Chains A and B, each alone.
Chain A
């Protein structure tokens, strides 16, 4: 069982819909991440939060909007997505101030855009 929980596991939405992906961890980690993974490819980093503040945005389109309401939760708000945004979205967390600590991943949300 993963210690990073993502909901929903599957999401189908139209291009005009607004939806949110949720991620929760209770390991006391203070760094949290969103990745996008296309089939047969490695994960691509989208956003990094450190101590609830956005520290890295990898030039992600504004139709993806991250939010970190507290140290255990990470959301990804979706609006007006395109078909090419269909992918597996992974959340991860790690200890923030200890160098070299691994990231722990959730099982992801598989997103399909109609």
Chain B
């Protein structure tokens, strides 16, 4: 069975600093991986997806993620944080009709 691990329930950065949110997956086959963002009182919005076409995936709002098979990782990055990036971020892997979510990382951005 697939599992997804997100290291760090909270990550704090200053505005303009690099954002790095970590995600590791456990899968016996190449996975389909996703990052979602959830703002307060909203649903989940798809940031980007990995479907084996390219290891570096660019998403919306300046985010990108790199798939590293040797490290079973799919970390999310953004070069320069904005205040509006403060939200909950979920990494997820797709099994048969099921999304397996990590526990989430809350990104805090300070001025």
| Interchain CB contact under 8 A, A105 and B97 | no
Q: Which of A41, A55, A104 sits near B97, CB closer than 8 Å?
A: A55
Residues of chain A lying within 8 A (CB to CB) of residue B34:
102
| Interchain CB contact under 8 A, B99 and A2 | no
| Interchain CB contact under 8 A, A100 and B51 | yes
| Interchain CB contact under 8 A, A108 and B43 | yes
Residues of chain B lying within 8 A (CB to CB) of residue A55:
97
For B, the interface residue count at a CB cutoff of 8 angstroms equals 21
Query: Which stretch in B19-27, B66-74, B77-85, B100-108 binds the other chain?
Result: B100-108
Q: Does B75 contact A (CB under 8 A)?
A: no
Query: Smallest distance from the beta carbon of A4 to chain B beta carbons, Å?
Result: 8
| Interchain CB contact under 8 A, A103 and B99 | yes
| Interchain CB contact under 8 A, A106 and B32 | no
Residues of chain B lying within 8 A (CB to CB) of residue A50:
97
CA distance A6 to B45 in the complex (A): 15
| Interchain CB contact under 8 A, A102 and B97 | no
CA distance A42 to B103 in the complex (A): 6
| Interchain CB contact under 8 A, A102 and B43 | no
- Measured CB to CB, the nearest residue on chain A to B97 is A48
Q: A31-B97, A42-B103, A45-B99 are in contact. Are A100 and B46 (CB under 8 A)?
A: no
CA distance A66 to B104 in the complex (A): 27
Residue in A41, A50, A103 with the greatest tally of chain B CB atoms within 10 Å: A103
Q: Does A43 contact B (CB under 8 A)?
A: yes
Q: Does A67 contact B (CB under 8 A)?
A: no
| Interchain CB contact under 8 A, A56 and B46 | no
Residues of chain A lying within 8 A (CB to CB) of residue B94:
100, 102
| Interchain CB contact under 8 A, A102 and B46 | yes
Q: Does A60 contact B (CB under 8 A)?
A: no
The 7 residue pairs across chains A and B that have the minimum distance between CB atoms: A42-B101, A105-B43, A100-B32, A105-B44, A107-B43, A100-B51, A108-B43
